[in-house]
Amino acid sequence: MTARSTVPVVAITGPLGVGKTSLVNALLRTPGARIGVVVNDFGAVNIDAGLVVGQIDEAASISGGCICCLDDTRGLDDALERLTDARLALDVVLVEASGAADPAVLSRLIRFSSAPRARWGGLVEVVDAAWFGRTTEAQRLGDARYRTASLVVANKTDRTPDADRVLRALGDVAPRAVVVQAVRGAIDPTVLFDVAERAASDELDFSGLTEPEHVHHHAEAVTRELHAPVSADTLVDLLDIPVPGVARIKGIVDVRIGNASRPYVVHVVTGTVHVEPLGTGTAARALVAIGYGFDAEVVRARFESVAVDGPSSPAGVRRLRRLLRLSR
User: Are 200 and 242 found together in one domain?
Assistant: no
Q: Which of 79-83, 142-146, 203-207 has the highest mean pLDDT?
A: 79-83
User: Are 185 and 263 found together in one domain?
Assistant: no
- CA–CA gap between residue 68 and residue 56 (Å, rounded): 24
User: Are 108 and 131 found together in one domain?
Assistant: yes
State mean pLDDT over 179-194.
Answer: 93
Q: Parallel, antiparallel, or unpaired: how do β-strands 92-96 and 35-40 relate?
A: parallel
Q: Predicted confidence band at 136 (pLDDT cuts at 50, 70, 90)?
A: confident
Residue 38's CATH number: 3.40.50.300
Q: Which of 45-59, 89-103, 137-151, 295-309 has the highest mean pLDDT?
A: 295-309
According to the model, what pLDDT value does residue 76 have? 86
Q: What is the pLDDT of residues 291-327, one digit of tens each?
A: 998 999 999 999 999 998 789 999 999 999 999 999 8
User: Are 160 and 60 found together in one domain?
Assistant: yes
Q: Predicted confidence band at 176 (pLDDT cuts at 50, 70, 90)?
A: confident
List the beta bridge partners of residue 140: none
Residue 54 lies in a domain: yes
DSSP state of 45: S
Residue 187 lies in a domain: yes
Q: Predicted confidence band at 73 (pLDDT cuts at 50, 70, 90)?
A: low
- CA–CA gap between residue 238 and residue 308 (Å, rounded): 13
Backbone angles phi, psi at 154, to 5 degrees: -85, 95
Residue 214 lies in a domain: no
The answer for residues whose C-beta is within 8 angstroms of residue 97's C-beta and 6 or more apart is 11, 12, 13, 20, 40, 66, 67, 68, 103, 106
Residue 164 lies in a domain: yes
Q: What is the pLDDT of residues 88-124, one digit of tens each?
A: 889 999 998 888 788 888 999 999 999 999 999 999 9
Least Cα distance to 119 among 265, 225, 252, 220 occurs for: 265
User: Are 155 and 262 found together in one domain?
Assistant: no
User: Are 127 and 170 found together in one domain?
Assistant: yes
Least Cα distance to 237 among 313, 123, 326 occurs for: 313
Global confidence as pTM: 0.85
Residue at which a domain ends, from 206, 239, 265: 206
The residue that leads in pLDDT, 124 or 56, is: 124
Q: Decide if 98 contacts 22 (C-beta within 8 A).
A: no
According to the model, what pLDDT value does residue 239 have? 94
Q: What is the pLDDT of residues 229-269, one digit of tens each?
A: 999 999 999 999 888 899 999 999 999 999 899 999 999 99
> Containing domain of residue 252, as a range?
220-326
Q: Decide if 215 contacts 157 (C-beta within 8 A).
A: no
Q: Above pLDDT 70, what percent of the chain?
A: 81
According to the model, what pLDDT value does residue 39 have? 82
Least Cα distance to 323 among 266, 256, 285, 254 occurs for: 266
What stretch of H or E contains 114?
none
User: Are 142 and 274 found together in one domain?
Assistant: no
Q: Parallel, antiparallel, or unpaired: how do β-strands 118-128 and 7-13 relate?
A: parallel
Residue at which a domain ends, from 206, 234, 265: 206
According to the model, what pLDDT value does residue 51 have? 61
- CA–CA gap between residue 306 and residue 230 (Å, rounded): 6
User: Are 57 and 140 found together in one domain?
Assistant: yes
State mean pLDDT over 15-43.
Answer: 85
User: Are 52 and 164 found together in one domain?
Assistant: yes
Residue at which a domain ends, from 206, 236, 267: 206
Residue 213 lies in a domain: no
- CA–CA gap between residue 41 and residue 289 (Å, rounded): 34
Radius of gyration of the chain (CA): 20
User: Are 103 and 226 found together in one domain?
Assistant: no
User: Are 195 and 271 found together in one domain?
Assistant: no
The answer for residues whose C-beta is within 8 angstroms of residue 228's C-beta and 6 or more apart is 254, 307, 309
Start-to-end CA distance of the chain, whole Å, equals: 21
Q: Predicted confidence band at 225 (pLDDT cuts at 50, 70, 90)?
A: very high
Residue 265's CATH number: 3.30.1220.10
Q: Above pLDDT 90, what percent of the chain?
A: 50
Residue 86 lies in a domain: yes
Residue 2 lies in a domain: no
- CA–CA gap between residue 87 and residue 304 (Å, rounded): 37
- CA–CA gap between residue 124 and residue 192 (Å, rounded): 9
Asked if the model's pLDDT at residue 1 lies above 70, the reply is no
State mean pLDDT over 205-225.
Answer: 67
User: Are 243 and 309 found together in one domain?
Assistant: yes
The HSE-up count of residue 236 (CA atoms within 13 Å, CB side) is: 18
According to the model, what pLDDT value does residue 197 have? 63
According to the model, what pLDDT value does residue 98 have? 81
The residue count of the chain comes to 328
According to the model, what pLDDT value does residue 56 have? 55
According to the model, what pLDDT value does residue 146 have? 86
Domain count for the chain: 2
Q: Decide if 95 contacts 68 (C-beta within 8 A).
A: no
State mean pLDDT over 45-64.
Answer: 59
State mean pLDDT over 137-160.
Answer: 83
Residue 110 lies in a domain: yes
